[in-house]
Structure 1
Amino acid sequence: MPPAAPLLPLLLPLLAAARPAAAPHRPTFACGGVVSGESGFIGSEGFPGVYPPNSKCTWKITVPEGKVVVLSFRYLDLESDNLCRYDFVDIYNGHANGQRIGRFCGTVKPGALVSNSNKMLVQMTSDANTAGSGFIAKFSAAEPHERGDQYCGGRLEKPSGSFQTPNWPERDYPAGVTCSWHIVAPKNQLIELKFEKFDVERDNYCRYDYVAVFNGGEINDAKRIGKYCGDSPPAPILSEKNELLIQFLSDLSLTADGFIGHYNFRPKKLPTTTVPPTTTTTPSTPSLKPTVALCQQKCKRSGTLESNYCSSNFVITGTVITAITRAGSLHATISIINVYKEGNLAIQQAGKSMSAKIVVVCKQCPLIRRGLNYIIMGQVEEDGRGKVLPNSFVMSFKAKNQKILNALKNRTC
């Protein structure tokens, strides 16, 4: 994927198109609004300046009756996070209580997003910390049939069935398409999901084209089971309850063969296996959250780079660019200098710069400070964030450490 284009040359034609003919100055985008018509532009508050912190802005878009809304992002620059938990833009069908089409952040623009009616809701949320230039997007009206075989998705309620990407199996799926399949079983049943064939544009972090599967009917990142791309079918999936949501999104560039998946309903089994683990895991709760006992341990680094390398899930060097205390833990963003062992760590990339999120479970142990360089070793949480415990190996990064780290990178653990 090419790096993001410079901001100013990209914005000039967009701002010209968005400016009313009689206006002698560039437009100023407000926080949300109600817009209607055949087409138009919306943008984050103050765009192309930095958007404000701690805000929530909502745009309600309406196009003429009998048509659908097509939303195309022309520019996107929000704080990057693999689950878009901090700054993000949500897109919904309809104006109230509609199904969410998608949540987006970072700098990678999604493909064209299409509502299932003549109404769409766009909502941007920002937290107290890092910000970017925000977004500008164009909405337009389209006839439902104009998108032809790019239409896909829907509600599936039969006991078994299948779903596939547009054009399957004759040719590649189209660029710029969003599909959502909502599978609903009776209350006392679960859903088993299997992908028979699977080929979606490959990327280490599935940023461009991807399939995401969620427990429940509302897209909620806390309920996300997984995000998939590449040419290896995901492992079979079993829902927690009686609903699953499958979302497929392709951007505006490379495409691939696509996929076909099958599902079937199955009876919910009695949870007989859940009782023993409950009793055995109770004593270990101090390791799951920052407790007084865990964080009162003596904070002293043990071992060496060599002795800690293989036992760590990830090993990176980087600069601490943000450090925020939340519930006794330190949440930090690391601008990566080098990756020696990636493991399951979620690494974000914008142009040539890479970053990762880590959580120092006990904020004072090990102690890291904003603006300084470190070697960081640790484990990885389910959401892809690095987890640093008091016994994790962290030390200041010096140029002389480079030779040892390069040698360790070639070691077989």
Structure 2
Amino acid sequence: MSGVTLTSVFLTASLSVILIFCPAGGAVILSRAHLVPLCTLILLCISQNIFFVFRPIFTCGGNITGESGVIGSQGYPGVYPPNTKCVWRITVPEEKVVVLSFRTIDLENDNLCRYDYVDVYGGHVSAQRLGRFCGTFKPGSLVSTGNKMLLQMVSDANTAGSGFLAVFSAAHPHERGDQYCGGRLVKPNGTFKTPNWPEKDYPAGVTCSWHIVAPKNQIIEVKFEKFDVERDNYCRYDHVSIFNGAEINDARRIGKYCGDSPPAPVFSEGNQVLIQFLSDLSLTADGFIGHYKFRPKKFSITTTPPPTTTHPVTTRPIPLKYSVALCQQKCKRRGTLHSNYCSSNFVITGTVITAMMKGGSMYATVSIINVYKEGNLAIQQAGKTMSTKIIILCKKCPFIRRGLNYIFMGQVDEEGRGKIAPQHFVMAFKTKNQKGLNVLKNKQC
């Protein structure tokens, strides 16, 4: 049986150019526009008892344009090289969105994807990140909010795998489908929902991102009409996350929700919100339907007022900004649990989930263990899980660590976030403190 030599002259993930040598002499150059002639050539070679097998050669990054294509890590399915950073920029026709599906993925595994990973962004520049992936978990289809998408794969010097293989296609922004959802929403009000709603459960392995953009002088209200997402105390599996802005950023997360109780309505800080829904490969549920509405920035957000007491608290509100001099003073906690309880607007115990330095302050997300005094604190609830946002005004006073439990006493800003100044009371929480806090909770201030 004769052989055919096939060589990649400039073979990108989308098979841009292929050079084929036939034993009879001569060569044929094929581009994306000549896929049909390639099939004809294969039939011709088969009719002449010529046999050949070819495999695409995947390189590190590239610019890919068209209605559909294939992307693979460098050298796939061989082991990808160490210490590399590869970027692929996908562009589909205007007025369409990119739908990306991973066929296989095999990267160094890490719970936080800190070492080898693939980032997917819904655009080329200043775009929101749709997800970061590593290990062998294959996410569901990812949908951009416009006609561009960017993939970035990073590897370190250590463990490697076979990498990834993904395919993309162009779709209309509001095209309905069972396996993908999401998009860019710019109308004054609208609806978003999980795939298959309400006919059947959402599918496993799906990632959906809705990017909602209002005019600059407005904010966004988001609320859920129906909500049923796989329950977990920490929403580790299927969940919905809502972020201020246009990207996935834990420091700007408004809330993370799961379970079968609709979360309370939430309001954005600015004119953009990103809503991400993720389902893993195991249990599914009914899903959800949610609505959004643009509101003026001065819109009055209705909150439940704190219960009145016979001796109202008259402490002065804490200013939003502190002088550098205050943060340079010796960090020393003042008073005791008892002496600080009544002067504090809120008192909770909780676990620090995220902590991020920004400017001179520390921004933290706290998973609440117990609420002793709620005040005006904004608390997000998903099922039985409650969380809130806290700002440590002087980033190292008091100093907190992620993963540890604390008692927090402080004031609340106009957005419902807890504000902790150096003189406020924060200490490590131990079970023995619970009795004393319960006594204070029942005490008249």
TM range (shorter): 0.5 to 0.7
From 102, 118, 125, give the equivalent of 1:97.
125
Q: Does 1:250 align with 2:295?
A: no
Corresponding residue for 1:140? 166
Cα deviation for residue 212 of structure 1 reads 3.2
- 1:169/1:107 CA distance change after superposition, 3 Å: same
CA contact (8 A) 1:314 1:379 kept: no
Counterpart mapping for 1:148-159 below 5 A = 148-156=177-185
Please list the CA deviations of residues 52-110 of structure 1 after superposition, one character each: whole Å capped at 9, or x if unmatched.
9xxx9452166999995323665344389xxxxxx99641145x238535244899968
| Residue type at the aligned position of 1:140 | A
**1:243: how far off?**
5.3
Report the Cα offset of residue 256 of structure 1: 1.4
The answer (yes or no) to whether the contact 2:80–2:163 under 8 Å persists in 1 is no
For 1:364 and 1:159, locate their aligned partners in 2 and report how far apart those are by CA, in whole Å. 42
| Deviation for aligned residue 1:173 | 0.6
Contact 1:374/1:394 (<8 A) preserved: no
Question: Structure 1's 258 and 296: CA in aligned 2 closer, same or farther, altered over 3 A?
Answer: same
TM-score (norm 1): 0.53
The offset of 1:158, in angstroms, is 5.2
Q: What is the match of residue 70 of structure 1? A: 101
Matched, 1:261 2:290: yes
Assess, with a 3 A threshold, how the Cα gap between structure 1 residues 243 and 406 changes in structure 2: closer, same or farther.
Answer: closer
User: Which of residues 120, 132, 140 in structure 2 aligns to 1:112?
Assistant: 140
What is residue 9 of structure 1 aligned with on the other side? none
Partner Cα separation in structure 2 for residue 215 and residue 327 of structure 1: 18
Whether 2:205 is the aligned partner of 1:176: answer: yes
Q: Does 1:194 align with 2:223?
A: yes
Alpha-carbon separation, structure 2, partners of 1:104 and 1:391: 39
Q: What does the per-residue CA deviation read over 1:133-166, in whole Å, with 9 as the maximum and x for residues that have no partner?
A: 8998623226679x95112223445555433211
Sort the Cα spacing of 1:297 and 1:233 in 2 relative to 1 into closer, same or farther, 3 A: same
CA separation of 1:388 and 1:165: change in aligned 2, threshold 3 A: same
Cα distance in 2 between the residues matched to 1:360 and 1:101:
27
Mapped partners of 1:214, 1:106: distance in 2: 22
Q: How many residues matched?
A: 329
The equivalent position to 2:87 in structure 1, one of 51, 56, 59, is 59
Offset at residue 257 of structure 1 (A): 0.9
Name which of 32, 36, 40 aligns with 2:72.
Answer: 40
Query: Which residue of structure 1 aligns with residue 323 of structure 2?
Result: 291
The residue matched to 2:178 in structure 1 has which SS?
Answer: helix
Q: Tell me the distance in 2 between the aligned counterparts of 1:359 and 1:191.
A: 23
Where does residue 40 of structure 2 map in the other structure? none
**What pairs up with 1:198-347 in 2 under 5 angstroms?**
198-214=227-243, 218-219=246-247, 221=249, 224-237=253-266, 244-264=273-293, 268=296, 271=298, 287-295=319-327, 299-304=331-336, 313-315=347-349
- 1:121 lines up with 2:150 in the alignment: yes
Q: For the structure 1 residues 300 and 89, does the alpha-carbon distance in structure 2 shift closer, same or farther, using more than 3 Å as the test?
A: same
SS of equivalent to 1:251: coil
Which residue in the other structure is 2:432 paired with? 404
CA displacement at 1:240 relative to structure 2: 6.2
Out of 393, 417, 422, the position equivalent to 1:390 is 422
Shift in alpha-carbon separation, 1:313–1:73, aligned structure 2, 3 A? farther
- Distance across 2 between alignment mates of 1:104 and 1:293: 40
Corresponding residue for residue 48 of structure 2: none
Report the CA distance between 1:412 and its aligned residue: 7.1
Change (3 A) 1:135 1:121: farther
**How far did 1:386 drift?**
8.7
User: Rg: which structure is higher?
Assistant: 2
Partner of 1:84: none
> Could you say what secondary structure the match of 1:150 adopts?
coil
Gaps of 5+ in 2: 1-59, 301-315, 380-388
* 1:294–1:265 distance in 2 versus 1, CA, 3 Å: closer
Could you tell me how far apart the structure 2 residues matched to 1:153 and 1:219 are? 14
Q: Is the 8 A contact 1:62 1:69 kept in 2?
A: no
* Structure 1 position 168, deviation (Å): 0.9
Name the structure 1 match of 2:311: none
> 1:174 deviation in Å?
0.8
Q: Which structure ranks higher in relative contact order (CA pairs < 8 Å, sequence separation ≥ 6)?
A: 1
SS at match of 1:254: coil
Q: 1:142 to 1:359 in 2, by over 3 A?
A: closer
Q: CA shift at 1:180, angstroms?
A: 2.7
Question: Residue 294 of structure 1 aligns to a residue in which SS?
Answer: helix
CA contact (8 A) 1:60 1:119 kept: no
What's the Cα RMSD here? 6.1
In 2, the alpha carbon distance for the partners of 1:315 and 1:254 equals 31
